[in-house]
Chains A and B, each alone.
Chain A
Amino acid sequence: GAGVSQSPRYKVAKRGQDVALRCDPISGHVSLFWYQQALGQGPEFLTYFQNEAQLDKSGLPSDRFFAERPEGSVSTLKIQRTQQEDSAVYLCASSLSKASAPTDTQYFGPGTRLTVL
């Protein structure tokens, strides 16, 4: 594909529901990042994968948040028992190199807007 895609683009969940957000990175990209962007804020780092390995999950706000990338390509961010404060845009980005190449360009998807009622 030409770029990073994310699905669904919009998700409305009732408080307490579980949700799963999907990211399809650019083919061949080693690094994959998830960010959370609250209204009026910049993206904030959640977690990082190098291929299938989750090397940094320091930004996940609670143990209700879980991410995986089992085959080193598609990634899923799962939020259990959603709360209103989870309402945000969830962004996925991928880059060609390992995260230890700090100047490599990250390519962002359009995001999934999650609204928790």
Chain B
Amino acid sequence: AQSVTQLGSHVSVSEGALVLLRCNYSSSVPPYLFWYVQYPNQGHQLLLKYTTGATLVKGINGFEAEFKKSETSFHLTKPSAHMSDAAEYFCAVSGGGYQKVTFGTGTKLQVIP
């Protein structure tokens, strides 16, 4: 069984500040981990994913995430927030050789000018 916990349903940052969205996972098999972003009235879009290999994963729009097995975490970061980053972000996990994905409950990011 797999699960994902996202800490904080709402996060506010100032424009130019560090973005940190937290995700912890539980998986009985080696996990594949994903971050998706959903802009208003749009479909979920893949930001980045971890499969195997390098634990620091870079994605689109300047986002990156680090897989930390010892902490069962996959936190999403961006050094400097832009107004256009305001959206809802979902952490997700799959594993066991199958694409069935389990999502977290999402974190809404607000960027304050």
Contacts and interface: CB of A to CB of B under 8 A. Distances in A.
Interface stretch (B12-20, B44-52, B61-69, B70-78): B44-52
Interface in A42-95: 42-45, 48, 56, 91, 93, 95
B57 to A, nearest CB: 12
A3 B103 contact: no
Given A102-B95, A110-B41, A110-B43, A45 B105 contact: no
A109 B42 CA distance: 8
B32 A91 contact: no
Nearest to A38: B105
Given A41-B105, A42-B105, A100 B46 contact: no
A91 B43 contact: yes
A92 to B, nearest CB: 9
Contact of A103 (B49, B103, B106): B49
B106 A42 contact: yes
Nearest to B95: A102
A31 B99 contact: yes
A45 B9 CA distance: 21
Contacts of A91: 43-44
Interface of A: 3-4, 31, 33, 35, 40-45, 48, 56, 91, 93, 95, 99-111
Which 7 A-B pairs have CB atoms at the shortest separation, nearest pair first? Answer: A42-B103, A108-B43, A99-B99, A108-B44, A103-B51, A110-B43, A43-B103
